Structure 1
Amino acid sequence: MPKIVDHDEKRREIGQVILRVMGRDGLGALTIRGIAREGGFSSGVLAHYFTNKEEMVQFAFETVAEMAFERIHAKLGDAKSGLEKLRILVEELLPRHEDDIESIVAIAFWGTSLHDAALLQQFHDRYENWRNHVREALTEAVANGEIERPVHIEDEVDLIVSATDGLLVSLTLDPKRFSKVRKARLIARIVSGLSSKVVEAAR
């Protein structure tokens, strides 16, 4: 009797191999043959799920985004304020340690997406989801009196997202510059609303 293959599980298994290779060796090492060798798959099996490098990069970024938002959603339910939700949204998208695979994959994806329309659309979709979460948390913080109402809330949303991306790059490329204490202080600075003044009661 032929073995029944769980294709979703196999795809996830291959996805973890892709993440491992990208995190260890970089985007240049991402080939059908290389991933097959790393995971102990045949090239034929791998080709059943991915036809080229771009599809593997797209799947890797999709996997990373899903992992991050699973952590975020698990923590948001316990958050007591809009500012706490903002902190979670920033903190969970930053490297958790040196050589954090998720951050390495994210940076690689940004560069690749500039030259691939499908990847660029995925970038826009994922970031719109993130902006929606930030916007909701920021709106809640304003409604609760945790921060003063920004003149342009969309500017605040984009500043928070951009500052988080910038810190992600710095923490990934120069991790020894940032102690845990300093990282926490910088996250707090981003969460404070940047151009919005945090009211004394929320400090």
Structure 2
Amino acid sequence: MPKIVDHDERRLELVDATWRIIARLGIEGATMREIALEAGFANGALKPYFPTKDTLLEFAFGHVFNRTNQRVAKVTEGKTGLPALRAFCLEVLPLDEERVNEARIVIPFWQKAVNDPQKAEIHQQSMEEWLAAIRQYLAEAREAGDVRAAVDDATLASQLLNMLLGAQIGAALTTRPDADPGLTDQLEGYLALLAG
């Protein structure tokens, strides 16, 4: 009887292997051959799932985004306003090895998106989704009296998103994994300014 292959599971195995390779060798070292070896597959076994490295990178970005959103949904459940905003930000910030590795997937995707309209559109839709969530949390916090900043919520949301994305770049480029960039303190400082 032929072995039944779970194609979705195999795709995720390949994405996980891609993360590990990029974390160790960078995007240039993440060849299809290296990814196949890391995942324990023959080189040709990747083609039915991801015909090119670009398609694999696109899938990996979508997977990172969805995984982050699942974590966000879990930690914001039952929360609104400032507590929900804080929880959202703490899940996006690269505060552990897993999220630093996710940032190392996202950054090469951004580089490709500069010249690839399809990837640029995927990124834009993802960021619009995050901005909408941030604006909702800010509006709830303002209604509760926790945000009194004179700056409008749309501008605050864009500032905060830029801070989160910048933190991903900084974490992905760090050469000292033991260095604490103070991201949690920076977030708390920003949230404190909102009350002013």
TM-score if structure 1 supplies the norm length?
Answer: 0.86
Moved over 3 A (4+): 174-177
Unaligned runs of 5+ in 2: none
Task: Report 1:162-181 matches (<5 A).
Answer: 162-174=162-174, 177-178=179-180
**Distance of aligned partners of 1:108 and 1:191 in 2 relative to their CA distance in 1, 3 Å threshold:** farther
What one-letter code is carried by the residue in structure 2 that aligns with 1:18? T
Q: How many angstroms apart in 1 are the aligned matches of 2:116 and 2:135?
A: 28
Return the offset for 1:5: 1.0
Q: Is residue 89 of structure 2 the alignment partner of residue 96 of structure 1?
A: no
In the TM superposition, residue 43 of structure 1 has moved relative to its aligned partner by 2.5
Gaps of 5+ in 1: none
> Structure 1 pair 177/39, CA: closer, same or farther in 2 (3 Å)?
closer
Report how many aligned residue pairs link the two structures.
193
Note the C-alpha offset of 1:87. Answer: 1.1
**Aligned amino acid, residue 119 of structure 2:** L
Counting aligned pairs with the same residue, the percent is: 29
Structure 1 contact 32–46 (Cα < 8 Å) conserved: yes
Distance 1:165 1:188 in 2: 16
Of 55-64 and 182-191, the range deviating more from structure 2: 182-191
TM-score, length of structure 2 as denominator length: 0.89
Measured in 2, the distance between the counterparts of 1:6 and 1:28 equals 29
Give the deviation of 1:121 after TM superposition: 1.1
Which letter maps to 1:76?
A: T
Change (3 A) 1:92 1:13: same
For the 8 Å contact 1:164–1:190, the answer to whether it is kept is: no
- Residue 90 of structure 1 contacts residue 164 of structure 1 at CA under 8 Å; is this kept in 2? yes
The correspondence of residues 43-122 of structure 1 with structure 2, limited to 5 A, is: 43-79=43-79, 81-97=80-96, 100-122=100-122
Contact 1:150 1:156 in 2 (8 A): no
The code of the aligned residue for 1:3 comes to K
Root-mean-square deviation (Å): 2.0
Amino acid at match of 1:178: D
Aligned amino acid, residue 103 of structure 1: A
The worse-fitting range, judged by mean Cα deviation, of 35-44 and 119-128 is: 35-44
Which residue identity is paired with 1:50? F
